[in-house]
Structure 1
Amino acid sequence: MKTQFTLIILFIVGIMGCSSYRIVRNQGDKSTNWTTYRTFAFIDTTRIDPTPSAAYQAAIAQVERAVGTELTRRGYQQLASNQPASQSDLLVNIGVVVSEKTQTRQTTIYEAPRYIGQRRYHWQSQDVPVSTYKEGTISLHIVDVKQNALIWDAAVAGVLGKKGATSEQINEAVDKAFTRFPGNRK
């Protein structure tokens, strides 16, 4: 009975450790002293496109909430929205990209046409499109305001459902990106 209970616990922990998101990039400046930073602010993304779509605005807002939660958990304080971002120690730049991908499979020798004839017959495996899906990528850049230098760069990607990403999925993706965050720990 004790062995079965242990196996069940290990199975549950294994499933919880699995994430449907993969870290695409996680680089940081190793010489950065993260204890010198206290505050952070987000870069205004509306300067790039003054009229972004409602879906994009909602996704960015949810990513900002998730990143704000992660940074606050690590001891940083977010500047009030009425304060200029240049007064913070850190600036956070967020990027969200959704791209359409094609899922493929390889052909097998059993799918080759029957051939009777000369000896120089050649068959080669090919990739055959099966379906399409959308992949979302969240990029996070943290910049030291005083030095105007990038000190942490991370990106996490995952397959999106037909209706896009939910707030829980965005939170999970940001949490995955912050698993290797070099900053303060509380």
Structure 2
Amino acid sequence: MKTIQGFIMLLLMGVTACSPYRIVRNERDSAAPWTTYRTFAFVDTSRVDPAPGTIEFRSTMEQVKRAVATELTKRGYRPVSEERSTGQPDLLVNIGAVVNERTQTRPTTIYEAPRYIGQYRYHWQSQDVPVGTYREGTLSVHIVDARKENLIWDAAVSSVLGKKGVTSEQINDAVSKVFTKFSAGNA
């Protein structure tokens, strides 16, 4: 009976450890006074015209903002709203998203080489052959000390995107994954 329970635990650990999200960057300024920060606000991007200016892009970025705000609130930070400004926030949060088209490749094998027909100095070398394309999305989160205007945390998470777009659950999972590496002294 113990072996079955052990196998189930091992299986569950393996399933939960496999994440479709990959931390690309996680740089933290350890000299920043993390215990003094209490409030945050997002960088005002209303004057910037986003390149993909679609409604879908804007709604996706709003979902990302909500997910980031949730993660920061879990860690003890309070949002400062622009409508009822109670002063300057301690932290400014900037979010960026990039989608790149990637090509999937595979190496050739010796069995795919052309037949040798007696040429002098014949040489065969493995090559990468394209087999398909996919989209990879990268989400960047930059946290800035608002008073000093100094970058104190820079992180990014990357994942392969599906053909149907990104769901709010995927956004929440990706933001949660990037914030697993966020360690500040405020929580």
Band of TM-score, shorter chain: over 0.9
Q: Greater share of helix residues, 1 or 2?
A: 1
1:46-85 matches, cutoff 5 A? 46-49=46-49, 52-83=53-84
1:5-24 matches, cutoff 5 A? 5-24=5-24
Task: Note the alpha carbon deviations across 1:105-145, whole angstroms, 9 max, x for none.
Answer: 01111101112113410111111110000000000000000
1:146-157 matches, cutoff 5 A? 146-157=147-158
Supply the distance in 1 between the matched residues of 2:185 and 2:109 (Cα, whole angstroms).
52
What stretches of structure 2 of length at least 5 have no aligned partner? none
Supply the distance in 2 between the matched residues of 1:137 and 1:105 (Cα, whole angstroms).
23
Determine the structure 2 residue equivalent to 1:103. Answer: 104
Shift in Å, 1:101: 0.4
In 2 relative to 1, CA 84–137 (structure 1 residues): closer, same or farther, beyond 3 Å? Answer: farther
- Give the structure-2-normalised TM-score: 0.93
What SS does the aligned partner of 1:35 have? Answer: helix
- Give the structure-1-normalised TM-score: 0.94
| Total equivalences in the alignment | 186
What SS does the aligned partner of 1:48 have? Answer: coil
The sequence identity of aligned pairs, in percent, is 61
Is this contact kept in 1: 2:36–2:186, CA < 8 A? no
Shift in Å, 1:183: 1.5
Determine the structure 1 residue equivalent to 2:44. Answer: 44
Larger mean Cα displacement after TM superposition, 20-29 or 111-120: 111-120
CA RMSD of aligned residues (A): 1.7
What SS does the aligned partner of 1:46 have? Answer: coil
In 2 relative to 1, CA 168–50 (structure 1 residues): closer, same or farther, beyond 3 Å? Answer: closer
What SS does the aligned partner of 1:87 have? Answer: coil
Supply the distance in 1 between the matched residues of 2:50 and 2:15 (Cα, whole angstroms).
42
Tell me which amino acid in the other structure corresponds to 2:165.
Answer: G
